[in-house]
Chains A and B, each alone.
Chain A
Amino acid sequence: MKWKLKDILMIAICGVLFAFVFMAANYIGVALTAALTPFGYAPLGYQLIYGLWFMAATFAAYIIQKKGVGTVAEMLAASIEMMMGGMFGPMTLVNGFIQGFGAELGFIATGYKKFNSATMILSSVTCALVSYVSEYFFYGYSAYSFQMNVIMIICRVISSIIFTAFVAKIIADGLAKAGVLRGYALGMKAAGIDEE
């Protein structure tokens, strides 16, 4: 698609706000990791809230509903997170690309025609799986047993469905209803109101 400056700014500003949420979520992740440590399940701590980090892709793709939006949006959000003091530097961009592309797969599968709950769930699942494969390699999950890997994937997919599919959709629908998305595909569908 042809990106306009205001579309880029819209996603970038949302990215800044998501970055605030990520900072808060980081503490939750550490707390969950600590809570699960005595049981030997520390690696699950972050898996449970991972869906938050994929939100930018489905959120933007659901609003703009065009090819490539998911990937670009997730990379924009990743670059913003990195520049706002993210720990993982340039690797954030690589992860952003992989996650964005993972989410994009769900939209590709539906031919960019249907943008409903089913598409969002599909996209959140593809995103969770694709990103898991890359992390299996980068974080050496092969050291964990098969059983542990299965538990991790399940947690990640559930968290992804909750945050990446449902929360992102609820927020975007709310924004459309609030009339702030009138310039975008999603906002066009929402009913208008005549001013006083």
Chain B
Amino acid sequence: MRRPLYDNFNPAVKAVTIIICCIMMAIGGTWQINCAVIVSCLLCLTLLSRCSIKVMIGLYMPLLFLGGLIFISNLASADLDAASKTAYEIASFDTALLLGTRILSYASMGILFGLTTKNKIFVMSTMHQFHLKPKFAYGILAALHLVPTLSREWDEVNLAYAVRGKRTGVIPFGPLFNTLVNGIRWSENVAMAMESKGFDGDGPRTYSIETPVRTSDIVLAVASLVLMTAFIIIFK
């Protein structure tokens, strides 16, 4: 049975826990720790969350590829003759594995957070727990909800470039400029629309979503940190 333990974890506390874990992992610095983190994150995602496994696999694929490349690159130079070896101090299987798994372990924690956290709840939680001002919180949400509109404009701009026989390049700075012009014009419009609906960025307001920190959140945070400490003690 998959229990939504991580899905219900208070987002602000979850974020802080994960950041501390990342710092501990950086101090730890062995491939065994990295692998332990990757496995625990995968276990959490499959057992303690109800996230989509399909999406999870989709996210891991390019990362495995990238991690693999870094691993091979480091390993290859370890096997090369002494002349190329100078690029690496202690080029060895261990180093290659450490650097290859490092990116995967960071991303695993990121994915664990991303797949178990709803954007809106996270923003609300930073407002309640970290006292982020409403104007920042709702500003971010408003911009995120403009994504469909922006991507529609983005497609239109790119079509316009194609129709007019213009290439846009690998990084499409041309279309980016057009869309920025629109976006900046819109920012004022959206701001006025929000204020016209009574939105006061600093003033008092009521909240339909409360994100209290419960005992279970503290327990989960402490458990995660204890596990991380255990990994460091065992695998260092």
Chain A interface residues toward B at CB < 8 A: 3-6, 8-10, 12-17, 20-21, 24-26, 28, 30, 33-34, 36-38, 40-43, 45, 52, 76, 79-80, 82-94, 137-140, 143-148, 167, 171, 174-175, 178, 180-181, 183
Contact = CB atoms under 8 A, between A and B. Distances in A.
Contacts of B111: 87, 89
B220 interface: no
7 contacts: A4-B201, A17-B183, A30-B69, A88-B106, A89-B112, A145-B89, A148-B87
Contact of A17 (B69, B73, B107, B176): B176
Interface of B: 14-16, 18-19, 22-23, 26, 29, 59, 62-63, 65-66, 69-70, 72-74, 76-77, 80, 84, 86-90, 95, 98-99, 102-103, 106-107, 109-114, 119, 122, 133, 135-136, 139-140, 142-144, 146-147, 150-151, 154, 170-173, 176-177, 179-181, 183-188, 190-192, 194-195, 199, 201
Interface of B is mostly: helix
Contacts of A42: 69-70, 72-74
Interface of A is mostly: helix
Given A9-B191, A88-B110, A140-B99, A83 B122 contact: yes
B26 A89 contact: no
B31 to A, nearest CB: 10
Contacts of B139: 5, 8-9, 12, 76
Given A6-B191, A17-B150, A40-B80, A89 B142 contact: no
